[in-house]
Chain A
Amino acid sequence: MTTVDVPAELVRVPAEVKRERILGVVYLILAAIVAFFFAMGSEGDATFRLGEAGQDIDLTFSAAGFSWVVSAIFAFLAVIHLTRGIGRKSNLVLSIALVLFAFAFLAWAAAGSSFSLLGMLRTTVSAATPIAFGALSGVLCERVAVINIGIEGMLLTGAFMSALVGTVTNPWVGLLAATLSGGVLALGLAVLAIRYRVDQIIAGVVINIFALGLTSFLSSQILVENPDRFNRPGVLQAFRIPLLADIPVIGPILFNQNIFVYALWISVALTAYGLFRTRWGLRARAVGEHPKAADTLGVNVYRMRYLNVLLGGLVAGFGGAYFTLGSVGAFNENMTAGRGFIGLAAMIFGRWHPVGALAAALVFGFADSLQVRLGILDVGIPSDFLLMAPYLVTIIVVAGVVGRARPPAADGQPYVKE
Chain B
Amino acid sequence: MERIAPSHIDWRSVVLVPLLAVFTALVIGALIIVLTEGPDDVVPAYVALFRGAFVGISAISETLTAATPLIIAGLSVALGFRAGLFNIGVEGQMTVGGMAAVFAGFALSGLPLVIHLPLAILAGFIGGAIWGGIPGWLRAQTGAHEVITTIMLNFIAYRLIDYLLKQPAIIREGRFDPISKDVLPSARLPQLLDWITPSLRLHGGFILALLLAWGIWWLLFRSTIGFEFRAVGSNPSAAAYAGMSVTATTVLVMAIAGGLGGLAGANQTLGVLYSVSPGFTSGIGFDAIALALLGRSHPGGVVLAGLLFGALRAGGQVMQVRSGVGIDLITVVQALIIVFIAAPALVRALYRVRAGEGAGQLTRGWSA
Contact = CB atoms under 8 A, between A and B. Distances in A.
A216 B328 contact: yes
Nearest to B364: A412
A147 interface: yes
Nearest to A193: B343
A149 interface: yes
17 contacts: A18-B141, A192-B339, A206-B335, A206-B342, A210-B339, A212-B286, A212-B331, A213-B334, A214-B32, A217-B328, A221-B326, A338-B154, A341-B148, A342-B152, A348-B148, A387-B162, A395-B148
B276 interface: no
Contacts of A385: 159, 163
Interface residues of A, number: 55
B144 A402 contact: yes
Contacts of B345: 196
Contact of B152 (A212, A395, A411): A395
A49 to B, nearest CB: 30
Nearest to B336: A210
Contact of B334 (A196, A209, A388): A209
B191 interface: no
Q: Is the interface of B mostly helix, strand, loop or mixed?
A: helix
Contacts of B145: 398, 402
Given A210-B335, A345-B148, A407-B365, A198 B328 contact: no
A199 B360 contact: yes
B343 A338 contact: no
Contact of A199 (B325, B346, B359): B359
A344 interface: yes
Contacts of A382: 163, 166
A205 B331 CA distance: 13
A382 B346 CA distance: 50
B320 to A, nearest CB: 9
Interface in B148-170: 148-149, 151-156, 159-160, 162-163, 166
Contact of A395 (B153, B332, B358): B153
Counting chain B residues whose Cβ lies within 8 A of the other chain, the interface size class is 35 or more
Nearest to B367: A407
B367 A222 contact: no
B36 interface: yes
Contacts of A413: 365
Contacts of A218: 36
A412 B328 CA distance: 30
A392 interface: yes
Given A198-B359, A341-B152, A391-B152, A398 B332 contact: no
Interface string A396-418: 00111011011100011100000
A203 interface: yes
Contacts of A338: 151-152, 154-155
A402 B145 CA distance: 8
Nearest to A403: B143
A384 interface: yes
A398 B144 contact: yes
Interface string B64-98: 00000000000000000000001010000000000
Given A213-B331, A217-B32, A399 B367 contact: no
A199 B293 CA distance: 11
Interface of B: 32, 36-37, 86, 88, 138, 141-145, 147-149, 151-156, 159-160, 162-163, 166, 237, 240, 286, 289-290, 293, 325-326, 328-332, 334-336, 338-339, 342-343, 345-346, 358-367
B138 A399 contact: yes
B338 A202 contact: yes
Contact of A210 (B152, B332, B358): B332
A229 interface: no
A209 B286 contact: yes
A403 B163 CA distance: 34
Contact of B367 (A197, A216, A342, A403): A403
A201 B86 contact: yes
A341 B336 contact: no
A288 to B, nearest CB: 12
B365 A411 contact: yes
Contact of A402 (B293, B336, B367): B367
B21 to A, nearest CB: 12
A220 B328 contact: yes
Given A210-B335, A399-B149, A403-B142, A199 B328 contact: no
A394 interface: yes
A337 interface: yes
A213 B328 contact: yes
Contacts of A407: 365-367
B235 to A, nearest CB: 13
A203 B330 CA distance: 19
Contacts of A341: 147-148, 151-152
A285 interface: no
A391 B142 contact: no
A348 B367 CA distance: 10
Contacts of B335: 206, 209-210, 213
A19 interface: yes
The 6 closest A-B pairs by CB, nearest first: A213-B331, A403-B143, A412-B365, A217-B328, A210-B335, A384-B163
Contacts of A384: 159-160, 162-163, 166
A22 interface: yes
Query: Which of A214, A217, A341, A392 counts the most B-chain CB atoms under 10 A from its CB?
Result: A217
A217 B359 CA distance: 28
Interface string A88-126: 000000000000000000000000000000000000000
A345 B146 CA distance: 12
Nearest to A341: B151
Contacts of B143: 15, 402-403
Given A217-B328, A220-B326, 6 more contacts: A205-B86, A209-B289, A342-B152, A395-B149, A402-B145, A403-B367
A168 to B, nearest CB: 15
Given A221-B36, A398-B148, A388 B155 contact: yes
B40 to A, nearest CB: 15
B77 to A, nearest CB: 10
A388 B160 CA distance: 8
B34 to A, nearest CB: 12
Interface in A344-399: 344-345, 348, 382, 384-385, 387-388, 391-392, 394-395, 398-399
A209 B335 CA distance: 6
Given A209-B289, A395-B152, A402-B367, A221 B159 contact: no
B361 A344 contact: no
B338 A398 contact: no
B365 A147 contact: yes
B338 to A, nearest CB: 5
